[in-house]
Chains A and B, each alone.
Chain A
Amino acid sequence: MILIRWPTPNWVLKVNHILEKEKIPHQIIPTPRELDPSCNLSILIAETVLEQTVQLLETNEVPVDGLLKVNN
């Protein structure tokens, strides 16, 4: 799984909206505190949709704060 994080919940919500529209399975989760002390949210996606997701983020001008491979 890939965890993608942003500095604000508003960007997570924007990405959630984009992924829902494109029917890309994903999950909103609290960002683990060892990664970010900001009380933030992240989005979890499968590795198989990473390329498609990154392209969508570029198209929609959403900068990414960090990408991280995580275990299920």
Chain B
Amino acid sequence: MIYLDNAATTYPKPEKVIETINYHLRNLGGSTGRGHYQWALEISRKVYAVRTKVAQLLSIDDPLRVIFTYNSTYAINMVLKGLLKPGDRVILSSMEHNAVVRPLRSLEKKGVELVFIPCGPEGVIDLETLRNEARLGARLITVLGASNVSGTIQPLAEIGKIAHDNNILFLVDGAQLAGLERIEVDNWHIDAFAFTGHKGLYGPQGTGGVALSSRLARLLEPLIEGGTGSLSEEEYQPDFLPDKFESGTLNSAGIIGLGAGVDFLLEKGISSVVSHERKLRDFLIEKLVREKNINLFGPLDSQKTTGILSFNIKNKDISTITNILDRDYGIMVRAGLHCSPLAHKSLGSFPIGTIRCSFSLFNTQDEVLFFSKSLNEILRRG
């Protein structure tokens, strides 16, 4: 079987991740931040160590500004719904995933104004339009760090500067970016960087979080409240981090597994991981451009992207093609809109959508070659 859907979730997971979770589940009882006995303390220490690793990865100075959630969608909802009030203006790119668009459309019904900034054919945000809209004032700028459709990476440092210069808060949906690019949350004036654990960080599903700036952390209302393992005698939610936003028992086995994923990534080196993915992307582009009926979407220069490539085929149903790839060749890829109708509209692939191939460190050139040969065979069949 060949798995090319790593933008959905990376597979396989590193052995170290599996072993770490296995060890945790077999040998350690207790919950992080609850209890004084040695197992509870060991779990708490390990979860804290993961905060420090994530803080290192995202270049933030205080690990307690890393809030764990269950995925990036949860983290994004936490920020949008905890911050925005009727009358607020939000500026967003036209490449956003439904993780951002749906909660914002919901808030729009309650009086939040949305301003969409167009993106060029490669999916890159138009900085001049953004600058002009930012000058008019807004509560928040929100941008998808890297597209889950085309892999396009946005110029976050420049967007952050525009947000900072205009005193606007800045949220980045980093689901597809964390683990694949150098990210400097503090230096780039990012107030919230939402990440997921099970994609580029090679951790298990059900992990993720958000790195918050101190100013945004003060402004945000928590999405949920409850037990935090602190100030137990009080009936009101604590206002310090990370407790303010981490009610209920954390997924400690998952988070500790995520830590092992981050270790794996740092051992391999982020630049070598992304370089490997880009080589596979280039190799696939080289094969696909030979097919005259294939339309590629997003940048052809893989240095501007993560390891994602989207395409569709003239007069062919993409779902039928991916079904044949799966059934007859054992190749798993995704066809459709990838929960991102807005991005497909920007790239020109709406409403048909695309076949999306997305790579991880574990994919090989032979797999990509087999994919392109199989696709070619299906297209020749007619």
Contact = CB atoms under 8 A, between A and B. Distances in A.
Interface residues of A, number: 18
Contacts of A38: 230-233
A33 B232 CA distance: 12
Contacts of A41: 36, 41
A10 B45 contact: no
Contacts of B137: none
Nearest to B241: A10
B336 interface: no
Question: Among A13, A17, A40, which residue has the most Cβ atoms of chain B within 10 A?
Answer: A13
Contacts of A13: 44-45, 48
B36 A37 contact: no
A10 B233 contact: no
A10 B36 contact: no
Contact of B44 (A9, A37, A39, A40): A9
Nearest to B230: A8
Interface string A19-41: 00000000011100000011111
A10 B49 CA distance: 11
Interface in B1-56: 33, 36, 41, 44-45, 48-49, 52
Nearest to A20: B45
Interface residues of B, number: 22
B243 interface: yes
Interface string B242-254: 1100000000000
Contacts of B41: 28, 41
Interface in A19-72: 28-30, 37-41, 61
A14 B64 contact: yes
B62 interface: yes
B45 A8 contact: no
Interface of B: 33, 36, 41, 44-45, 48-49, 52, 62-64, 228-233, 238, 240-243
Given A7-B230, A7-B231, 16 more contacts: A7-B240, A8-B231, A8-B243, A9-B33, A10-B242, A11-B64, A13-B48, A14-B63, A28-B41, A29-B36, A38-B232, A39-B229, A40-B230, A41-B36, A41-B41, A61-B62
30 contacts: A7-B238, A7-B240, A8-B33, A8-B228, A8-B230, A9-B230, A10-B33, A10-B48, A10-B242, A10-B243, A11-B64, A11-B240, A13-B45, A14-B48, A14-B63, A16-B45, A16-B48, A17-B49, A17-B52, A17-B63, A28-B41, A29-B36, A37-B232, A38-B230, A38-B231, A39-B229, A39-B232, A40-B230, A41-B36, A41-B41
Of all A-B residue pairs in the complex, the 10 with the closest CB atoms, nearest first, are A8-B230, A30-B36, A13-B48, A9-B33, A37-B233, A39-B232, A38-B232, A8-B243, A38-B231, A9-B229
